[in-house]
Amino acid sequence: MQISVAGENALIIYFGEQTSPEVSAKVQQAVEIIRRDLHELIVDLVPSYASLLVIYDLMKTDHHHVRNHLRQSLSGLDNAHSAEGRLVTLPAYYSTESGPDLQQLADNAGLSVDEVIEIHQQQEYRVYAIGFAPGFAYLGEVDPRIAAPRLSTPRLKVPRGAVAIADRQTAVYPAESPGGWNLIGLCPTRMFNPDADPTMPVQAGDRVRFEAISREQFIELGGELPEQPDPSEQLGGPLT
């Protein structure tokens, strides 16, 4: 564990050099411990794949005091119980209508569309981090049989709810945005709703499974089918 200064009122804790379920579990354990032990000094905690940003109240403390507290509170982290996180099931309407890259991904993998769908929903994914946009949860690891690189030319518009794959990660786009991931379906669940409590259905450390639903079920659950994208609406640089 390494603690470094990340700003005038922030420290960042590194728990490892590579992403893994074990490192992710340590990050989430640290979040719980810090909230318990330093809650009066902390403004915010921002977990990521293998690190945790700790933002503290500069009017109450300084980085020397916070660093000492962190080392003391997290001294037994390696022996802590590995938290599993909640299991969240997200419905997904998989089809070539809702996932314009589904057929190409299947062809490249030497699989049928049905096989890609089955493999994607069989896996249990861990929420490694939330970023890029509010509610954009990076989920891993995708089965290597259906892992796929980002598109060489990203789209200008990816619809809200798009279920996507990039390398060995999968995600649901929380809002319409540019994007370069492979789209394989649509999820009717709102991944970010500022008027809801909580605002997101998942948080870092949770586990996610996808469950295939029909077109009719997708619409009944509030899903909206986007207009067919214009192939000419492309961007030239790498985007998430």
**Which ranges of 45-181 does DSSP label H, i.e. alpha helix?**
63-73, 102-109, 113-122
* Structural domain spans, the chain: 2-79, 87-220
Record the tokens describing residue 29, joined without a space.
């354990």
Q: What is the pLDDT, as a whole number, of residue 240?
A: 54
Domain 2-79 classified CATH 3.30.1360.40? yes
**Is residue 205 a contact partner of residue 47, using CB atoms and an 8 Å limit?**
yes
Mean pLDDT score across all residues of the chain: 89
**Which ranges of 90-230 does DSSP label H, i.e. alpha helix?**
102-109, 113-122, 215-220
Q: Check whether 21 has a pLDDT greater than 80.
A: no
% of the chain at pLDDT higher than 70: 92
Question: The CATH number of 87-220 is which of 3.40.50.170, 1.20.120.80, 2.40.100.10, 3.90.1150.110?
Answer: 2.40.100.10
Q: What is the pLDDT, as a whole number, of residue 238?
A: 47
The band of 199, judged by pLDDT with boundaries at 50, 70 and 90, is very high
Q: What is the pLDDT, as a whole number, of residue 29?
A: 84
**Mean pLDDT on 155-184:** 96
d(CA 198, CA 195): 9
List of residues 6+ apart from 189 with CB closer than 8 A? 90, 91, 161, 172, 201, 221
Q: What is the pLDDT, as a whole number, of residue 25?
A: 79
Give the three-class secondary structure for 130.
strand
**Mean pLDDT on 169-195:** 96
**Is residue 174 a contact partner of residue 191, using CB atoms and an 8 Å limit?**
yes
Lowest mean pLDDT across 46-55, 73-82, 177-186:
73-82
